[in-house]
Structure formats: structure tokens, C-alpha cells
């Protein structure tokens, strides 16, 4: 009886050992050099990135996060420095960062996309931010911000309600850190609200603004917190690291 029990325990121990070894092997990190020149370090399955890992295509492009069968799937952060040719023939350095959910190598699910063009001083920088839900790289729901040297657009869309704020900042440098409440009070804003198939337009330059202002504040109250966060969000600090540092300079 003891001999039989000992045999069972030995078999059980061997099974546990094999299981642990397989688990550790599947979860261990390795380095891969891919045919496209990219380097990958992380978990692998069947010779492909699977699990958590980091892919570096060049000093200007990387992704760190989750993978399934060689494709970015799950949560991950993508960073890329590219060139934008809208303002100069040489191309202006542009920093792109997306942190959020992926599926089949595309933005799918909740995430934050941020893009900043460091154009020449005569143009000023251009900034875009999308915070919400994506489907196959397309932004479908949430908050959006676009900023130019003398104007800014803040938007919200959930399919039923669409809000658009056109903020004209003539004294742009002075108004850089203002809150939404201050911009409304300083009459720098035009508001468009589409709700229940009804469109409402408000302009701070109109003679009815004193009366309309209370309606605008009430309508925007549920969105104040996020709008104010987006008003003060930029990639300037990260731009200093990824663009103006020689280590990350664009080839």
C-alpha cells in the first residue's frame, strides 16, 4: 500500500514539475529579430510575440504592451516620431502617442490618442487629442481636442449628444492655462449643442450672451472636468525628450 501511494505521489510530483516548467517556459521573455528589422523582447508563443512584450522598429517608433499571435492585442502604448509636410517641404517633427486597447494591430476599445506637430515658430504647434473609444483606428465616441496658434476646438460625442466648442484665443499666450469657466467668462467661445435631434447655437459675441451664458454653463456642467483636463494637456515635455534630443532625432 505504501509502495503504491509512493508511486502515486512520485507521478503527481513529476506532473506538477512538468506543468511548472511549461508554465515558466511559456511566460519567459526572449529576444526576437524580425525580418522587417524590428527587435522584440517579451513573451513568445509559436515563435510569435504573445503575452507582454516590447517591439522597437527604430529609435523613433516603439510599442510596449500585450500581444496575441504576433499582433498588438490587449492594452499597450505606442510612441512614434514622424514628419508632417503640411507646413514645410522638409517636414516638421510630429510626436504621436496612443495608450489604450488594441485588437489585430489596430486601436480598438478605450484609449487616448495624442498628436503634436512641432511646426516652425511662424505657424506655432498643432495639437490633437482624442480620449474615448476607437474601432479599427477610427475614433467613434468620447472627447476630442484640436489646438492651433489662435484657436481651439473641444468636442464631445456619444452618438446621441454632440457638443462642439470653438474657442478663439486672440491673446493665446496669456490664455494658455485658463479653465473653461474663465474662457466662457472672457467671451472667447462659440458653443454648438446637438441633443435629441435639436441643435442649439450660442455665441459669446451675441447681444443675448448674458442670458445664454447660464444655459451654456448648465449644458456643459457634466463635461467640465474632462474638458478642463484636456485644456491643459500637451505633449511638449515628451516632445523635448523624443524630438529635440539627438538620440531620438528623425533620420
Judged by phi (left if over 0) then psi (alpha if -120 to 50, else beta), residue 70 lies in left
Can you list the alpha helix ranges (DSSP code H) found in the chain?
Answer: 2-27, 172-175, 180-185, 209-220, 224-231, 236-242
Helix, strand, coil shares, percent, the chain, to 5: 25, 45, 25
Residue 143's pLDDT is: 97
Q: Which three cell numbers stand for residue 193?
A: 449643442
**β-strands 106-117, 92-103 pairing:** antiparallel
- Across the 251 residues of the chain, what is the mean pLDDT of every consecutive 10-residue run? 36 30 52 87 91 91 94 95 79 89 97 86 76 96 88 91 85 62 83 88 90 90 92 71 51 44
Residue 94's pLDDT is: 87
Residue 46's pLDDT is: 87
pTM: 0.80
Report yes or no: 118 and 125 within 8 Å, Cβ to Cβ.
yes
Residue 136's pLDDT is: 96
Residue 21's pLDDT is: 32
Per-residue DSSP letter, 247: G
Residue 221's pLDDT is: 93
Q: State how far Cα 178 lies from the chain centre.
A: 23
Beta bridge partners of 156: 143, 163
Amino acid at each position: 500500500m505504501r509502495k503504491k501511494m509512493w508511486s502515486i505521489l512520485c507521478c503527481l510530483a513529476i506532473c506538477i514539475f512538468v506543468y511548472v516548467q511549461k508554465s515558466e517556459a511559456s511566460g519567459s521573455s526572449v529576444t526576437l529579430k524580425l525580418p522587417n528589422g524590428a527587435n522584440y523582447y517579451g513573451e513568445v508563443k509559436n515563435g510569435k510575440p504573445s503575452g507582454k512584450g516590447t517591439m522597437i522598429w527604430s529609435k523613433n517608433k516603439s510599442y510596449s504592451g500585450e500581444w496575441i499571435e504576433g499582433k498588438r492585442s490587449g492594452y499597450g502604448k505606442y510612441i512614434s516620431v514622424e514628419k508632417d509636410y503640411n507646413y514645410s517641404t522638409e517636414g516638421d517633427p510630429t510626436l504621436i502617442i496612443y495608450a489604450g486597447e488594441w485588437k489585430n494591430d489596430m486601436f480598438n476599445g478605450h484609449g487616448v490618442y495624442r498628436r503634436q506637430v512641432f511646426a516652425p515658430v511662424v505657424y506655432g504647434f498643432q495639437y490633437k487629442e482624442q480620449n474615448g473609444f476607437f474601432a479599427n483606428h477610427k475614433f467613434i465616441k468620447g472627447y476630442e481636442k484640436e489646438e492651433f496658434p489662435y484657436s481651439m476646438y473641444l468636442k464631445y460625442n456619444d452618438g446621441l449628444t454632440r457638443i462642439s466648442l470653438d474657442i478663439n484665443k486672440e491673446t493665446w499666450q496669456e490664455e494658455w492655462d485658463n479653465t473653461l469657466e474663465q474662457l466662457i467668462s472672457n467671451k472667447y467661445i462659440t458653443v454648438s449643442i446637438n441633443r435629441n435631434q435639436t441643435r442649439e447655437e450660442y455665441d459669446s459675441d451675441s447681444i443675448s450672451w448674458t442670458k445664454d451664458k447660464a444655459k451654456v454653463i448648465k449644458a456643459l456642467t457634466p463635461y467640465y472636468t474632462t474638458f478642463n483636463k484636456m485644456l491643459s494637456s500637451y505633449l511638449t515635455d515628451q516632445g523635448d525628450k523624443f524630438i529635440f534630443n539627438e538620440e531620438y532625432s528623425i533620420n
